[in-house]
Each structure stands twice: as C-alpha cells, then as structure tokens.
Amino acid sequence: MREKPIGEGAEALKGPVGLDIGTSHIIVAQNKGRDINTTKELDAFFTLPTGKFAKQILNQKEIKYYESDDLFYIIGYSAQNFANMFNVNLRRPMNRGVLSSNENEGIRVIEAILKSLIQKPRDFGEILCFGVPGDPIDEPGASVYHESMIKRSIGSMGYTPISLNEGMAIVLSELSEDDFTGIGISMGGGMCNICLSYLSFPVITYSIPMAGDYIDAMVEKAVGEPATKVKAIKEEALDLSKGPKDRVITALHIFYDELIFKLLKSLQRVISSTDKIPKIANPIPIILSGGTAMPNGCVEKFATMLKDVSLPVEISAVRLAEDPLNTTAKGALIMAMTETG
C-alpha cells in the first residue's frame, strides 16, 4: 500500500474509489496497478481574515484554503500548522463520527478536502463507496442526516455514491480467509463502530460515542495537560503492555481500560439481546482497527478483558488489522470494486 506525501495533490486514477471520512482524517483508497493507493488529509480547518497580501502568501506556499464571508478557511494539515502557531485548538467539521452540529461550514470544509484528494471521475457516475458509522445503541437514525449530506456532496462531484458500515468495511478488508465471518471493530477518534458479520452479511451494526477523543479529553480533565499534548503522548509514547511511568501515561491506562470495558459490555449487551444471531459452528475472530487500537499492548489488553465477558459466540482470536489507519477506506474500495463488477 503506497501513501502519497501531502501536497502531491489530487491524482486522476480511473475506476472505483473507497473513502473514509473520519472525525480525525479523511482517507481515499484507489487502485493503482496492482497496488492500493491511499491518500489522507487532516479533517480540520482554521480561519483567518481575508487580505490580498495574506492571499498571495497562501498561494505561494500552496496552502489549501477557500474563501467565504471575508474569511480564509485553511483546511487539512496546513490548518494544524496555523493552530500550533497561534496556540489555539483546531476546528473540526466532524464530531463523534458525524457532521458537527456546531460547525455551519462543516460540509463545505469536507467538500473542499475531498476536492483536494480526488479529481472528478474520468467516466461520469463511477462508484465511490464511503464508510458510515452505525447508529449509537440508544439513538436509531442518528447518522441519517450525515449520510445523506455526504451522498449529496459525492454525487455533485460526478460519482455514484454508495455507503458501507464502517465495521463492515473492516470485515471486507481483513476477513476474506474467514469467509467474511467475524466481528470488525473500528476504534477511531470520535466513536467505536462495531459489526458482526456472517458470510459477508452484516448481522449486527452499532456504535458507541466514545473513542480516542474521549480518552484525550478525560485525561486532560484528570491531569490538566492539554488534549492535543495528551494525543501526541498517546500516539508516540504509550505502551499498554508496560506499567505506567508518569501521571499522563497512568491516566491513559485508566481511560483505555474504561473504553475497552464499555466497548466489551456493549458487545455483550447487543449480541445477547438480539434474536438475529445465526448458529455459528466455529469460533470467530475479532479485528481491531483505527488509530485508537494502535498503541502497543492494546490488542492484548482487549483480549485479556474479553475473558471476563460472556458472549453467545465463541471468539477464536483478537487481531489488529494489517494497516489499521487505512482499513475502512480499503474495505470501502473493495465494496466499490464489487459493485462496479
């Protein structure tokens, strides 16, 4: 899998497209020969007042932006640099896996990022498959607005949009050798998405509205370090297989335990309370994906805590996806290719 450096711009590749619009990043997967080509951009923005001189500088430095209501909307990784410079938090068009109700410009920001990552299709109406979150357990229909808005945006670019549950995308990407039977769990920034699949049929899909951002926010509250610094420590220094060595790492251990506990309890509750579960003869695997599942020791911690939970299906193994950050986009590409035929 080849990842393009940021700034290489939208590449005109023919054929279907897989798309993951996450709370943290937007990732595009396309075929390039025998390889899967992935490109990603930060799903964030930063605003500055417009001005002729500022515009010249932005263009000179090839910074991605658009203008609206006397403001420059700087998008993607460039926004991170500005936020760091001004020592303020980035703004995000997404919150907990869906369009943020607090950001009126959210969908325009996402459209601008998409246009920087993918060109219009060479053949009008090519299939683009995008991942959508499952509904939270107690909130049916919570993602309907989000899904409809994204479909409109993709359609306006000349693609035929189809949606795919994020957990199911993990199953398609990782479980071909298991007959697409197992549990896919995407542990992202805004939420965890869960799908139990039987022979590629999504039997159960749902989400819980806590994941990486929740851990960062809770650690910030507990120890007083800014969430952005906590996130950096989590991504660079956290090892859940070793004992914690300072306050931040200790708090990260505590809130990882809480997240995994609540995730497993939700799985127990949802699977035990449904009458849809088919008779599955053999034990099935659980695949963990997403940035929140990546710290060393996370999979082992999940497997250890799983032993205390009683599920009506037997689990054969807990595995980390082969390419955890790109799994949803890759699964969406597989679906788009299948639909293209």
CATH of the domain at 251: 3.30.420.40
Q: Give the pLDDT confidence score for residue 62 in this predicted structure.
A: 92
178, 287: one domain: yes
178, 73: one domain: no
184, 307: one domain: yes
Task: Please state the three-class secondary structure of the chain as a single string.
Answer: CEECCCCCCCECCCCCEEEEECCCEEEEEEEECCEEEEEEEECCEEEEECCHHHHHHHHHCCCCEEEECCEEEEECHHHHHHHHHHCCCCECCEECCEECCCCCCHHHHHHHHHHHHECCCCCCCCEEEEEECCCECCCCCCCHHHHHHHHHHHHHCCCEEEEEEHHHHHHHHHCHHHCCCEEEEEECCCCEEEEEEECCEEEEEEEECCCHHHHHHHHHHHHCCCHHHHHHHHHHCCECCCCCCCHHHHHHHHHHHHHHHHHHHHHHHHHHCCCCCCCCCCCEEEEEECHHHCCECHHHHHHHHHCCCCCCCCEEEEEECCCCCCHHHHHHHHHHHHHHC
pLDDT in tens, 314-340: 999 999 999 999 999 999 999 999 999
- Tokens 């923005």, residue? 45
- Band the pLDDT of 292: cuts 50, 70, 90: very high
Per the structure, the count of domains in the chain is: 2
What residue numbers bound the domain in which 72 lies? 46-91
pLDDT in tens, 105-132: 999 999 999 999 999 999 999 999 999 9
Residue 70 falls inside a structural domain? yes
178, 315: one domain: yes
Residue 293 falls inside a structural domain? yes
Q: What is the mean pLDDT of the chain?
A: 93
179, 71: one domain: no
Residue 140 falls inside a structural domain? no
180, 283: one domain: yes
294, 178: one domain: yes
Q: Could you say which of 57, 91, 125 is where a domain stops?
A: 91
Buried b or exposed e, range 308-317, using 16+ CB within 10 angstroms: eeebebebee
Residue 337 falls inside a structural domain? no
Q: Give the pLDDT confidence score for residue 11 in this predicted structure.
A: 59
Q: Given a cut of 90, is residue 83 above it in pLDDT?
A: no
* Mean pLDDT for the stretch of residues 208-229: 94
Q: Given a cut of 70, is residue 53 above it in pLDDT?
A: yes
Q: Given a cut of 70, is residue 1 above it in pLDDT?
A: no
Residue 107 falls inside a structural domain? no
75, 203: one domain: no
79, 176: one domain: no
Q: Given a cut of 80, is residue 9 above it in pLDDT?
A: no
Q: Which residue has the higher pLDDT, 213 or 139?
A: 213
Question: Torsions phi, psi of 290, nearest 5?
Answer: 95, 160
Q: Give the pLDDT confidence score for residue 13 in this predicted structure.
A: 64
Q: Given a cut of 90, is residue 57 above it in pLDDT?
A: yes
% of the chain with per-residue pLDDT over 70: 96
184, 82: one domain: no
Q: Given a cut of 90, is residue 10 above it in pLDDT?
A: no
87, 180: one domain: no
75, 175: one domain: no
